[in-house]
Structures are given as structure tokens and as C-alpha cells.
Amino acid sequence: MNRTYVTIMIICLIFWASSIWAQESMYLEEAIHIAIYNNPSIKALNEGVYGKEMDKRTSFAQMLPRVTLNYGYARLKEDQTLDIGQDLYLPVVNETNPPFYNNPDDTNIVSDENGLPVYAYIPGQEIPIADKDQYKLSIEIVQPLFAGGALKNSYKVAKNDVLSAELDKQQSIRELKLKVIEAYYGVTETRQFHEVAQSGVLSIKAQMDIAQAFFNEGMIPKNDLLVAQVGYADGMQKLIAAENAVKLSESGFNLLLARNLSVPVIIDTEIPMPPLTINIEEATATALEHRQELKILKLQMDSAQNGVKIAKSVYLPGIAATYTYERTGDEPDVEDDTWTAGVGLNWNIFEGTSHYWNVAKARSVTNQLSYLMQGQQEKIALEVKIAYLSAHEAMERTNVAIKSIDQAQENLRIEKDRFNLQVATSADVLDAQALLDKAQTNYISARADYAKAIAKLEAAMGIL
């Protein structure tokens, strides 16, 4: 049963390893694409851009005609009439159209001596005015003609808001890219640290075996063997920590890609060392041209200037054209119709001193943004300088680390030979191994730091 179980486990491991090896490595560009596509914050910013676009269209719609349709029914308590309590004599305009009474009786016409009608005699009566059922249909069209520039400048502000939202999304994407790059190289870095720890444990294990053989032959004291055994235990501790660091870095990488934390991470194992061909002045100039934060501030300054114009628009009159068409009647089909058209002017000449203070406030926003622009430019220049110097530092560290690895390897070889000749102790060999491990980890760190610094420099320049 034990052999069968072991066989099954070996077969499963072989198939699992084969499936892992069969998968293609995920390159950095692909990882960045997946992270951007899956990131919920980026999706939320996309919706924010869409919302600002709708605000812009709404602002434009304020300049278009406004059409209002009304249809209503009202029921009065009773038919409305005009009570004429006394007889009336009204001048006759002509024979067929007396001025008030629309159903005259010829017997009620008073003529002069020439037989021409002079008065219409209307006996006291109740004249109907309105039926108790009232229906009304109206269509009103209002077209703003001039609003002191408020509508046009509000539309400009809305356009700037759309561009600002898009730039804000680009800034978040830039920051996400940098995080993915750092995590990507972080996984490679921890894996290479793990390889160094494994190599160190194997080397120390070989030294411990030799020390054990020498001790068994009585060639070295027991404390020399114990030093080798303690060194091996310490190497195992470092190996366990390295294994855990790999798992944590892989989980952090998966988190940025919005994947399950346990998904295997199969990525390129090399850390690139692209040359740094740009100088710090060129990098700073590029940053001041491309950084999204500065572009957003420029748009905000333009919007603030438009805000001053909007605040000043209240000093000017508002002009609008209107057209109203109405149909009324005592039946739902409202047969009687009428229309009116006109142009109106509305001018709020004085409202305390609030208009003045609103203009002053709008100007202060412009001044505030000007100061923020200056501070942001200085901050960006510092970010570029830090990233640039960090890249140079990492490159120099890499060159030093390459030489130190060769020296540490030679030193370890010599100490092992000296130990075999009984002129060195296990402690000397362990110290030499520790120096080699340190040189190798320094080299790995320098390469990873250089790749990350290049990414930070491109992010600081706004071109990542």
C-alpha cells in the first residue's frame, strides 16, 4: 500500500509539474495589461469619466431650446355667467356686429331718424362666460439668446472636467503600472534570493558532512563540528524565510492582477538592465511636459478663469425668445387655439454686493491654483531627481557586486582548501560562505533596484 501510494503521488507531481512547465511565461507587458483590465479602481474611474461626459452634454443642452408641453383639465363648480341686472344700451359698431351682445334681435336695435342703427338694447340677463368643464393644451418653447457668457463658459468648464477625469484615470493607471512592475521584479528578486539560500544550504551541508567525517577520524575537535551544524541550521532558517518571502511576493503580485492569491505565478526570470541614456535636465523637462498632475492643474486654472467670467455674467442681462401655443375648450379636443411669440430681457441690476464678492472669490481660486502649480512643479522635479539618482546608484552597486561575487567565490574556495589542510576552521568556511551569499544577494538587489528605479523615473517623467 505504501509503495502504491508513493507511486501515485509521484505520478501526480509529474503531471502537475508538466502542466506548470507547459504554461507560457507571463511577460511584464501582459501582466500590466491584465492588472489594468481587472483593477476595480480603474473601472470606477472609467465610470467617472463617463459621468463627466454626460455632465458636458447636459451643459451643452442648456444652450438648446427648452420645450414644455402641458395638458390639463379643470372642473368648476358650475357654469360661469355674467349677470347683467339692468337693461343696457350699447353703441352699435355696425349692423351685423354689435360690440357686446353677439345674438342681437332686430327688435332690440334702436335707429335714428335716418333708419341707421344707433344702440343695441340688451335687457337684463345672465350671459354665459365659461363652461364648468375646462380643458387646456399648451406648448411653450424658450430659446436662450444671451446669458452674459455663463452658458458658453459653463460648457467650457464641463469640457475641462471631462479631460481632467481622463487624466486622473491615466495617472491612476501610471501608478498601477509602477506597482505591477515593482511586484513583478519583486517576485523575481525573492525567487533568486531563494536560489541563493538553497545554494548556501547545500554548500554548508557539504561542509558539515566533511566536518563530520573529520571529527569521526579525530582530525577536528567537536566544537568545530558543532559550528558547522549550527551554521547548517542557520542556513535552513534563512531558506525557510526565503520560501515564505517568495509566497508573499507571489500573493502580492496576484492581488495587483485581481487574481486568486493561490494562482501559480509564471513569469520571466530575468531582470533587465536597460541603459540610462537620458540626462536629468531632459528627464525633468519631459516630466514638466507630460505629468498628468500638471495637465490637470492647467485645466483647473482654465476652468477657474472661466469661473470668473461666469461670475461676471450676472452684470449683463439675460435675453431669451419664447413661443407659446395654446388650445382651450370645454371638450378634450380643445378646439380654440391661440399663440404668442416674443423676446424677453431679464437684468438683475443690484443684489446687495454679492455679485462683487462672487467675482473676487472666483479670482482667488485662480490665484490658489497658480501657487499649487508652482509647488507641484517643484515636487515633480524632486521626484525625477530622486529616481534618476537611485537608478545611477543601483547601476554602480551592480558593477561593484559583480566583482565582489568573484572575490567571494575565490575566498570560499581558499577557505575550503585550508579547512581540508587543517589550517582553517568550520567557522572560517561559514564566514566565507556568508560573504558569498551576501555578495550574490547584493547583486540581485542592485539589479532589481535598478529596474524599479528606471520604472520610477519613467513614472516621474509621466511616460510610463
Q: How far is CA 251 from CA 111, 131, 246, 261, 441, in A?
A: 111, 81, 9, 5, 22
Specify the pLDDT at position 8.
45
**CB neighbour list of residue 158: distance below 8 Å, 6 or more residues apart:** 52, 55, 56, 58, 59, 60
Specify the pLDDT at position 199.
92
Per residue in 125-179, pLDDT (tens digit) is: 666 666 777 888 889 999 888 888 888 888 889 999 999 999 999 999 999 999 9
Which cell is 319 given? 435675453
Q: Is the pLDDT of residue 120 over 80?
A: no
Sign, CA torsion 450/454/459/461: positive
Sign, CA torsion 153/155/157/163: negative
- For residue 122, name the pLDDT band (cuts at 50, 70, 90): low
What are the start-end ranges of the H helices in 217-291? Answer: 222-256, 280-290
- Which letter, b or e, does each residue of 303-332 get, where b requires 16 or more Cβ atoms within 10 Å of its Cβ? bbbbbbbbbbbbeeebbbeeeeebbbbeee
Instruction: Give me the mean pLDDT over the 375-399 stretch.
Output: 92
Specify the pLDDT at position 85.
57
**CB neighbour list of residue 418: distance below 8 Å, 6 or more residues apart:** 424, 428
Specify the pLDDT at position 5.
45
Specify the pLDDT at position 101.
41
Per residue in 51-105, pLDDT (tens digit) is: 999 999 988 888 889 999 998 888 777 766 666 656 556 666 554 444 444 444 5
Specify the pLDDT at position 296.
92
**Domain 24-66+148-316+352-461 CATH class label:** mainly alpha
Specify the pLDDT at position 129.
63
Specify the pLDDT at position 102.
42
For residues 446, 451, 453, 455, the Cα torsion angle rounded to the nearest 10 degrees is: -170
* Residue 443 parent element (H or E): helix 426-461
Which cell is 387 given? 529616481
Instruction: Give me the mean pLDDT over the 396-423 stretch.
Output: 91
Q: What is the CA 443 to chain-centroid distance, rounded?
A: 37
Per residue in 353-381, pLDDT (tens digit) is: 777 888 888 888 888 888 999 999 999 99
Q: Is the pLDDT of residue 4 over 90?
A: no
Instruction: Give me the mean pLDDT over the 288-296 stretch.
Output: 92
| Half-sphere exposure in the Cβ direction for 330 (13 Å, CA) | 10
- The strand pair at 336-346 and 117-122 is best described as unpaired
- The strand pair at 109-111 and 318-329 is best described as unpaired
pTM: 0.76
* Residue 142 parent element (H or E): strand 133-146
| 419 neighbors 428 (Cβ within 8 angstroms) | yes
Per residue in 192-243, pLDDT (tens digit) is: 999 999 999 999 999 899 989 988 888 889 888 899 899 999 999 999 999 9
Q: Return the domain boundaries, the chain.
A: 24-66+148-316+352-461, 82-129
Query: Is residue 31 exposed (0-12), middle (13-18) or buried (19+ Cβ within 10 Å)?
Result: buried
Report d(CA 283, CA 277) in Å as an integer. Answer: 10
Report d(CA 280, CA 284) in Å as an integer. Answer: 6
- For residue 15, name the pLDDT band (cuts at 50, 70, 90): very low
Can you tell me which residue has the cell 484615470?
169
Per residue in 424-456, pLDDT (tens digit) is: 888 999 999 999 999 999 999 999 999 999 999
| 137 neighbors 71 (Cβ within 8 angstroms) | yes
Which cell is 296 given? 490637470
Specify the pLDDT at position 361.
85
**Beta-sheet strand order (sheet of 318-329):** 66-75, 133-146, 318-329, 336-346
3-state secondary structure of 327: strand
Specify the pLDDT at position 106.
52
